[in-house]
Amino acid sequence: MVGKIVNSAVRFISLLVVDFIIINLSFICSYIVRFEQVEALLPNLVNYLQISPVIILIFLACFCYFKIYKRVWAYASIGELITIVQAVTAGSVIVIVLTYLTGAMLPRSIVLTSWAFIILLLGSSRLCWRLHLEVRKNSCRKGKNTLIVGAGDAGVLVAKELKNHDSGLVPVGFIDDDPNKWRLSVLSLPVFGNREKIEKTVNKHNVQLIIIAMPSADARQIKQIFEICRKTNKEVKILPGYYQLIDGNVKINQLRPVKIEDLLHREPVKLNLNEISGYIKGETVLITGAGGSIGSELCRQAAGFKPKLLVILGHGENSIHKIWLELQEKFKDIPLGVEIADVRDKQKINSVFQKYRPAVVFHAAAHKHVPLMEYHPDEAVKTNVLGTYNVVEAADRAGTKQFVLISTDKAVNPSSVMGATKRLAELIIQNADKTSNTKFVAVRFGNVLGSRGSVVPIFEEQIKKGGPVTVTHPKMKRYFMTIPEAVQLVIQAGSMADGGEIFILDMGKPVKIVDLARDMIKLSGLEPDKDIEIKFTGVRPGEKLFEELLTEQEGVASTTHKRIFVAKPCLFELAELEKQLLYISANANNIDDKIIFAILDLIIPNFKNYRDKLVG
């Protein structure tokens, strides 16, 4: 502690001495410029020396007032230069006023000229100090030689972070496809050329790490660059998400290995924060299935909009406990309600809704695994149909304002029990919307990367074990989104609800599962079909080669958000739906599989036909 105080005092005194010399030197130079003849110069210098203690004291006081001596000049920038100009200007004005009031012999032209000299010399002294520290730091710096791909705003921010902190990474230069930047330097680092120069640059400068700093690039560009980087056999990391750079807040810990979602990346979701805040902020929000992949992300993002109370509800105590602890840590100011409950328990669900009376409900609880639900259709019906029915009725009784059902593309022309039960869930909320004051809507989207039901973690595990990676069919295609991306659009869609809509999220282009598998093998630094075998196992029960987002009857209409569409409502027999729901509810514990399929055939047109085609 004493050592720090001594060092601080030595630094302060040293800067005072330097500035004392600079102020005197500036005024002397101003006199030399003003009076060319020695006969005129000497008497005026004598006059200056008589009043110089007051002048120096004024300037040093101004420097202290503007906190020049509390600046860390090792990181000096435009802000520090502006402070110097303000301090010197204030000192000069005070000197002019005093000489006018006291009648001191100090020409105003001398003050004006010295103003420029002081700024120049003061700024130069601080810049020289920064350059000295920079040279010393670079000469002592050791670590991995690092090449940055992208010399735009993000790349520059990464380079600054690497240079200003002892990260163990030493930037050697940039790669950029813009020919206007070639052979130029950014932050004293050269721009070597376009992506074709990556391999040559890596070898020439002994590069050990490549950072892809192109957060606004599309998946095609990232994939091409990654393929080039992979050939160098060097470590590759990426700076994800342009939205993370809004405040220029780039940190080394944001850099991570390239993931499959980077190769499937689309433009970032743009949200209307005013719309979202309007229906979540200050309200009680309840999320079912809150421990799942989608449910937990809904919790995180909903908490960010500052609800009055966030109620997390789920059946699995471990997953609910995990998200509860996370929310307590990240959102200390958001009150939380925690409920361990099964949506199939009508009495418990009703009591929870009466206890909290939520204004907004996101219903994410569901069985989602297609093959498992083929073997256990009764469980799919109990959770996806009766569970939804229970939550819908409870929300209606509690006076919920908005209810958002998380649906799936497998509900379109369903060929599986899971898809058919989710389609029934959609019909339930559309039916309820006709008689309730609650706005019931559904949001339909495809697979999400990283979820428990996604193929991505399965492929990762298979690659770790050395293969084979199992793909059901070479023509199998699926839509993919990242979990945060999907949830952002779900929350945005909820703000657009008028009641009864089925919102469709823009999923981009479908991806071949076999191509996904190949990309993941390459991301692991291995070669498909050489290091890791890809094995085709055949289509599983209930699966289709290609999922759809709309039926022919639904069509689609645009909304105010370019990534969200709304399906046109389809007419269905409400009386028949209610009749079958009552039957399922009354016989839930002993219902036969054949009866379940018969009911699904009855309510959902062409369900049997699509299944027959699949089998055939």
Active site residues: 410
Contact, 24 vs 53, CB < 8 A? no
274, 292 in Cβ contact below 8 A? no
Q: Are residues 471 and 537 in contact, defined by beta-carbon separation less than 8 angstroms? A: yes
Distance between first and last Cα of the chain:
81
Q: How many helices (H) and strands (E) does the chain have?
A: 22, 22
Q: What is the 3-state secondary structure (H, E, C) of 124-176?
A: HHHHHHHHHHHHHHHHHCCCEEEEEECCCHHHHHHHHHHHHCCCCEEEEEEEC
Residues 6+ apart with CB under 8 A from 209: 144, 145, 146, 147, 169, 234, 235, 236, 237
468 preceded by a cis bond (ω within 30 of 0)? yes
The C-alpha atoms of residue 464 and residue 524 are separated, in whole angstroms, by 9
CA-to-CA dists, residue 577 to 481, 569, 609, angstroms: 32, 16, 20
Q: Find the angle CA(385)-CA(599)-CA(501) to the nearest 5 degrees.
A: 45
- In this structure, what token pair is assigned to residue 328? 């307590």
Q: 528: Cβ–Cβ under 8 A, 6 or more apart, which residues? A: 517, 518, 521, 522, 534
Q: DSSP label at 343? A: T
Give the separation between CA 449 and CA 293, rounded to whole angstroms. Answer: 10
Dist. CA 421–CA 408, nearest whole Å: 10
3-state secondary structure of 449: strand
User: Rounded to whole angstroms, how far apart are CA atoms 358 and 308?
Assistant: 10
Three-state secondary-structure class, residue 360? strand
Nearest-angstrom CA–CA distance, 358 and 438:
11
State how far the Cα of 15 lies from the Cα of 170, in Å rounded to an integer: 31
Which amino acid is present at 8? S
SS3 at position 440 = strand
> What DSSP string describes 204-224?
HTT--EEEE--TT--HHHHHH
